[in-house]
């Protein structure tokens, strides 16, 4: 328990000590929120009988911020490996499962905080949830997305040995995960192929879940969203732990 806590704490200390990282990772989601939110707003309203594009994009950029921060936190293992610190944790008489859990919770906490900060910014942009009663559910979904993608980052980092693969992961995994999740468009009336792809992308269930909690109804349905997110999170934690336990130094 102590071990999980100290690993969690380390992750938080490292992140909040570098202010530039916290602020830097807010930049992109906020840019999307304000530029696309206000840019597409009028057209979207005209085409949809007055519907508000903010309702689409606000949960979308929250998911985006969580996704990027979470994958990044997970992938931080590559840094630890490069700077040698990873060895220190790998030879410790502590199960690697505990190490993995501590790291993942640390990364997920940071990513969740990121999501909450972005949520606050969506207020400035004019977004208002339908009901505040569902905020705890939204928070749960925020956390699930965060754990899921931190675990994914960890799993990937466990098989990459240096930074070279990092760009590949960003361009061929993280970007598609984001753009194909419905973070920027509503899930209703999509062309069939896109509708199928969207349903394969785990982030879609996060985005849809956030919409379901903040501005119901959800398109895929909250129960489905929660089930899929929970199941994939568990699966990735298991795979991640396995890959992490095989790391050699």
Partner 1 sequence: MSAIIEVENLTKKFKDFTAVNGITFSVEQSDIFAFLGPNGAGKTTTIKMLTTLLKPTSGTIKINGFDPMIDKDAVRKSFGIVFQDPSLDDELTAWENMEFHGVLYHVPKELRRKRIDELLEIVELNDRRNNLVKQFSGGMKRRLEIARGLLHHPKVLFLDEPTIGLDPQTRNHLWQYVIDLNKEEGITVFLTTHYMEEAEKVARKIAIIDHGNIVAQGSAEVLREQTKSDSLENAFLALTGKAIRDEDASGIDAMRQRHRMWTKR
Residues near partner 1, by CB under 8 A? 2-3, 5-6, 10, 13-14, 17-18, 83-95, 248-249
Cα radius of gyration (the chain): 18
For the bound state, the minimum distance from the C-beta of residue 92 to partner 1, rounded and expressed in Å, comes to 4
Between the alpha carbon of residue 113 and those of residues 52, 110, 187, the distances in Å are: 26, 5, 26
Q: How far apart are CA 174 and CA 86, in angstroms?
A: 24
For the bound state, the minimum distance from the C-beta of residue 238 to partner 1, rounded and expressed in Å, comes to 19
Q: Are 10 and 34 contacting, i.e. CB atoms less than 8 angstroms apart?
A: no
For the bound state, the minimum distance from the C-beta of residue 99 to partner 1, rounded and expressed in Å, comes to 9
Closer to partner 1 by CB, 6 or 159: give it. 6
Q: How far apart are CA 44 and CA 47, in angstroms?
A: 5
For the bound state, the minimum distance from the C-beta of residue 84 to partner 1, rounded and expressed in Å, comes to 4
Closer to partner 1 by CB, 5 or 163: give it. 5
Both tokens of 12, joined, read: 């938080």
Closer to partner 1 by CB, 7 or 174: give it. 7
Closer to partner 1 by CB, 107 or 182: give it. 107
Interacting residues of 134 by C-beta distance below 8 A, sequence separation 6+: 213, 214, 216
For the bound state, the minimum distance from the C-beta of residue 197 to partner 1, rounded and expressed in Å, comes to 39
Closer to partner 1 by CB, 9 or 194: give it. 9
Both tokens of 146, joined, read: 């965060």
For the bound state, the minimum distance from the C-beta of residue 8 to partner 1, rounded and expressed in Å, comes to 11
Cα torsion through 131, 23, 69, 31, rounded to 10: 60
Closer to partner 1 by CB, 2 or 167: give it. 2
Which region holds residue 88: left if phi is over 0, alpha if psi is between -120 and 50, else beta? Answer: alpha
């Amino acid at each position: 328990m102590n071990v999980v806590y100290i690993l969690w704490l380390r992750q938080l200390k490292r992140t909040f000590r570098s202010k530039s990282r916290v602020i830097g990772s807010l930049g992109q989601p906020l840019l999307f929120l304000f530029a696309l939110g206000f840019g597409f707003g009028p057209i979207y309203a005209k085409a949809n009988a007055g519907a508000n594009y903010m309702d689409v994009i606000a949960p979308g950029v929250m998911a985006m911020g969580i996704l990027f921060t979470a994958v990044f936190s997970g992938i931080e293992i590559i840094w630890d490996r490069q700077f040698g610190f990873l060895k220190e944790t790998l030879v410790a008489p502590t199960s690697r499962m505990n190490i993995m859990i501590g790291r993942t919770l640390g990364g997920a906490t940071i990513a969740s905080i990121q999501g909450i900060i972005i949520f606050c910014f969506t207020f400035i942009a004019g977004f208002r949830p339908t009901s505040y009663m569902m905020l705890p559910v939204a928070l749960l979904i925020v956390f699930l997305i965060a754990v899921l993608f931190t675990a994914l980052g960890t799993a990937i980092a466990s098989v990459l040995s240096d930074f070279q693969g990092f760009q590949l992961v960003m361009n061929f995994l993280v970007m598609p995960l984001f753009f194909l999740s419905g973070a920027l468009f509503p899930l209703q009336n999509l062309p069939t192929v896109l509708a199928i792809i969207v349903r394969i992308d785990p982030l879609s269930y996060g985005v849809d879940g956030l919409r379901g909690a903040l501005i119901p109804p959800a398109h895929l349905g909250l129960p489905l969203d929660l089930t899929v997110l929970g199941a994939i999170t568990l699966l990735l934690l298991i795979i991640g732990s396995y890959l992490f336990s095989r790391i050699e130094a």
